[in-house]
Structure 1
């Protein structure tokens, strides 16, 4: 009996084997290889030379990297709360069983399936000076023109607007799914007690979906720290690096300057930043639940 049980357990484990293979090949191996490359002076045409942590020192001392870190942290600090708040607002507004709500859900989610190239093309048409939509609006009201893609302080904002529009569908759908799992009996009991809608929101809805809100925040932290395509295609990191994110710095270091070891070291630093930010968000959410 024990032997047949062990055989059954191994047979069941075979179903997970394809996933484990892809997990190791596409995640574990690149992660370990990236750590190894960051400790080497790498020449794609002549092998690698082990140099320890010497790749990290010039990256950490590079003012361009420091600027990229500031840009990315600011971008994440603004975009993630915006995505969670707007996703919650839309989910609450569209949590109805009607054709209109279904249509609007699909409409808001449709932007998420577009490629980054199409998204940036759309928003370049909106922000481009002279003939863009914003320029037409400013001209209509007689306001001074703003170089949304070419002025410091506005370039990163423009990238953020495009990113929020592109990424809003996923938070909305995840929060909407959580809302639909809340038992209706809770709202019926609250109605019998003459509880207001605001009280129902703060005492029933938000406590019931706080785990989902934390998950959405962590997912968006991980995704938005990897900002690249929008910044490259809309502003190319300019002006003067004011919209250059960390991933663009990694790309320029590794594939423009061909300093593979330094580029990999920068990517490992980004990995640690994302891990720390996600863990802080997870710790804060679990601490609130315990209290």
Structure 2
């Protein structure tokens, strides 16, 4: 009996073997290989030599890396709360079953299916000096034009605006799905109690979708720390590196300077930053309030 149970147990395990194979090949092996590369002085033309943590020391002492790290943190601090708040606002506004809301859902989600090339091309037409949309608007109101893509204080902000416009559809749809799972009985009881809209929002809606809010925040933290295409195509990291994110730094070190070991060390640091940020968000969101005595 025990022998047949063990045999059936192993047969059931065969069903997950294709997934485990893909998981190991595409995730576990690249992660392990990246750690190995980060401990070696290596380029794409030789076997390399073991240098221990020297690549990490070089990365952390590089002012260009520190600038890229600061840019990425500022970008995430701007884009993630904006995506969460705007996505929730749109979901609350469109959480109705009418033709108009269906149209606007599709309209706001449509930007998410565009490629990064199309998105950056659209927003370059908006921010380009001289003939861009913002330049024309500034001229109409009598204000001097701003070089949004070539000014240190505006370049990263411009990339952030384009990114929020591009990525807003996914948070909106996730929030819509969560809102539609809330039992209508709760809202009916609140209406009988003459609860104000603000009280309904804070006491029923937000607590009911708290896990979705956490999920959206974690997804956006992971995604926005991987900023690359928008910054490269809109500003190329300029001016003076003020819009260069960490992924662009890794790309330049690994594929322009051919210092693969240092690039791998920087990528492992980025991985740890994303992991810590996501875990911190998860712990904060799942922490239960202490019971009052």
SS at match of 2:49: strand
TM-score by length of structure 2 reads 0.97
Which residue matches 2:44? 44
Which residue matches 1:122? 122
SS at match of 1:47: coil
CA apart distance, 1:14: 1.9
CA apart distance, 1:139: 1.0
Whether 1:169 and 2:169 are equivalent positions in the alignment is yes
Whether 1:215 and 2:208 are equivalent positions in the alignment is no
Give the distance between the partners of 1:155 and 1:208, measured in 2 at CA.
38
Which residue matches 1:201? 201
Consecutive unaligned residues of structure 1, counting only runs of 5 or more, are: none
SS at match of 1:143: coil
Whether 1:65 and 2:65 are equivalent positions in the alignment is yes
Pairwise mapping of residues 229-244 of structure 1 onto structure 2 (< 5 A)? 229-244=229-244
After superposition, the Cα gap between the structure-2 partners of 1:273 and 1:139, relative to the gap in structure 1 and judged at 3 Å, is same
Give the distance between the partners of 1:47 and 1:92, measured in 2 at CA.
56
Give the distance between the partners of 1:209 and 1:269, measured in 2 at CA.
32
CA-atom RMSD, angstroms?
A: 1.2
Give the distance between the partners of 1:174 and 1:57, measured in 2 at CA.
41
The superposition leaves residues 91-122 of structure 1 with CA deviations (integer Å, 9 ceiling, x where unpaired) of 00111111111111111111111111110001
CA apart distance, 1:16: 1.4
Which residue matches 2:77? 77
Give the distance between the partners of 1:143 and 1:16, measured in 2 at CA.
62
CA apart distance, 1:259: 0.3
Give the distance between the partners of 2:145 and 2:288, measured in 1 at CA.
45
Give the distance between the partners of 1:235 and 1:288, measured in 2 at CA.
43
Which residue matches 2:28? 28
After superposition, the Cα gap between the structure-2 partners of 1:28 and 1:183, relative to the gap in structure 1 and judged at 3 Å, is same
Give the distance between the partners of 1:43 and 1:205, measured in 2 at CA.
53
SS at match of 1:52: coil
Pairwise mapping of residues 86-235 of structure 1 onto structure 2 (< 5 A)? 86-235=86-235
CA apart distance, 1:290: 6.1
After superposition, the Cα gap between the structure-2 partners of 1:124 and 1:253, relative to the gap in structure 1 and judged at 3 Å, is same
Which portions of structure 1, spanning 4 or more consecutive aligned residues, are displaced by more than 6 angstroms? none
TM-score by length of structure 1 reads 0.97
Which residue matches 2:14? 14
The superposition leaves residues 97-153 of structure 1 with CA deviations (integer Å, 9 ceiling, x where unpaired) of 111111111111111111111100010011011111111111111111000000011
CA apart distance, 1:160: 0.1
SS at match of 2:287: helix
CA apart distance, 1:287: 1.8
Give the distance between the partners of 1:13 and 1:181, measured in 2 at CA.
34
Give the distance between the partners of 2:120 and 2:289, measured in 1 at CA.
39
CA apart distance, 1:289: 5.7
Give the distance between the partners of 1:34 and 1:48, measured in 2 at CA.
14
Give the distance between the partners of 2:20 and 2:137, measured in 1 at CA.
53
The superposition leaves residues 211-251 of structure 1 with CA deviations (integer Å, 9 ceiling, x where unpaired) of 11011101100100000000000000000000000000000
SS at match of 2:84: helix
Which residue matches 1:286? 286
Give the distance between the partners of 1:208 and 1:220, measured in 2 at CA.
20
